[in-house]
């Protein structure tokens, strides 16, 4: 899905919380050689801090909530189609998208996860990594499939776990790597 030179791809970022990856992607998207333009930030959580950051940066935001996730997805799809969104970055989005949704954006949704996938899918990654006395951990950017934290890997970064690492220190160190890896992965598939 390489872009035509000079034309940035209309992109939506989905978040559920803090939004540090969103912040990083926004900064990246403003670079001249970045292939993406962030046109929309969507969250399933109205208190997601990242929504405020997007608003401050004059990016359109959308919050939708529904007990039935497929109902929410249908509304979301309509908005994405109306806004002509062509690419989606999940950045701390804590819901699993359905096959129907993914089919509408085949090969055009990517995600970042704070582990060396396929190891440690799901939640509490750093805690589980430390409990298992792993030597290495890292982060992964991958295409999204209907299975949690699965789908073809685009890029990974491996880091060594330090003796004095705890969940907070480790997650901070991995997050710094996430912020470098996500733009690199986007460049790899789109630029
Ligand atoms: C990040 O560490 C991201 O990799 C993780 O949530 C955090 C969100 O932080 N995502 C997942 O665990 C997805 N399975 P952020 O809101 O500051 O970007």
Ligand 1 center–CA 101 separation, angstroms:
21
Q: Count Cβ atoms within 10 A of the Cβ of residue 112 and give its class: 0-12 exposed, 13-18 middle, 19 or more buried.
A: buried
Pocket mutation for ligand 1, best pick of 43, 45, 91 (most atoms within 8 Å of C-beta) = 91
pLDDT above 90 covers what percent of the chain?
Answer: 91
The pLDDT assigned to 146 comes to 86
Which atom of ligand 1 lies at the shortest distance from residue 17's CA?
Answer: 16
pLDDT digits (tens, 9 = 90+) for 95-106: 999 999 999 999
The domains of the chain are located at 9-106
Side by side, the strands of the sheet bearing 87-90 are: 60-63, 36-43, 9-15, 87-90, 109-113, 136-143, 153-160
pLDDT (tens digit, 0 to 9) for every residue of the chain, 191 residues total? 665 567 899 999 999 999 999 999 999 999 999 999 999 999 999 999 999 999 999 999 999 987 888 899 999 999 999 999 999 999 999 999 999 999 999 999 999 999 999 999 999 999 999 999 999 999 999 999 988 889 999 999 999 999 999 999 999 999 999 999 999 999 999 99
Read off the pTM: 0.96
Any ligand 1 atom below 6 A from CB of 179: no
The pLDDT assigned to 132 comes to 98
Which atom of ligand 1 lies at the shortest distance from residue 49's CA?
Answer: 16
Cis peptide before 86 (omega within 30 of 0): no
Pocket mutation for ligand 1, best pick of 114, 141, 180 (most atoms within 8 Å of C-beta) = 114
CATH number corresponding to 9-106: 3.40.50.170
The pLDDT assigned to 64 comes to 96
Any ligand 1 atom below 6 A from CB of 170: no
- Tokens 């929504």 correspond to 51
Any ligand 1 atom below 6 A from CB of 39: no
The pLDDT assigned to 116 comes to 98
The pLDDT assigned to 2 comes to 60
Which atom of ligand 1 lies at the shortest distance from residue 112's CA?
Answer: 4
Task: Retrieve residue 131's tokens.
Answer: 């409990």
């Amino acid at each position: 899905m390489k872009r035509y030179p000079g034309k940035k791809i209309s992109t939506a970022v989905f978040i559920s919380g803090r939004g540090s990856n969103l912040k990083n992607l926004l900064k990246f998207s403003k670079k001249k050689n970045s292939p993406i333009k962030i046109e929309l930030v969507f969250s399933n959580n109205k208190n997601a801090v990242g929504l405020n950051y997007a608003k401050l940066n004059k990016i359109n935001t959308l919050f939708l909530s529904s007990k039935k996730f497929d109902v929410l997805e249908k509304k979301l799809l309509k908005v994405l189609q109306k806004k002509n969104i062509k690419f989606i970055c999940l950045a701390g989005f804590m819901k699993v998208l359905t096959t129907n949704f993914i089919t509408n954006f085949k090969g055009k949704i990517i995600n970042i996860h704070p582990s060396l996938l396929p190891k440690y899918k799901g939640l509490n990654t750093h805690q589980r990594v430390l409990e298992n006395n792993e030597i290495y951990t890292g982060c992964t950017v991958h295409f999204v499939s209907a299975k949690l934290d699965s789908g073809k890997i685009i890029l990974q970064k491996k880091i060594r776990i330090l003796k004095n690492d705890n969940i907070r220190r480790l997650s901070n160190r991995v997050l710094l790597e996430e912020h470098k890896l996500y733009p690199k992965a986007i460049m790899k598939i789109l630029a």
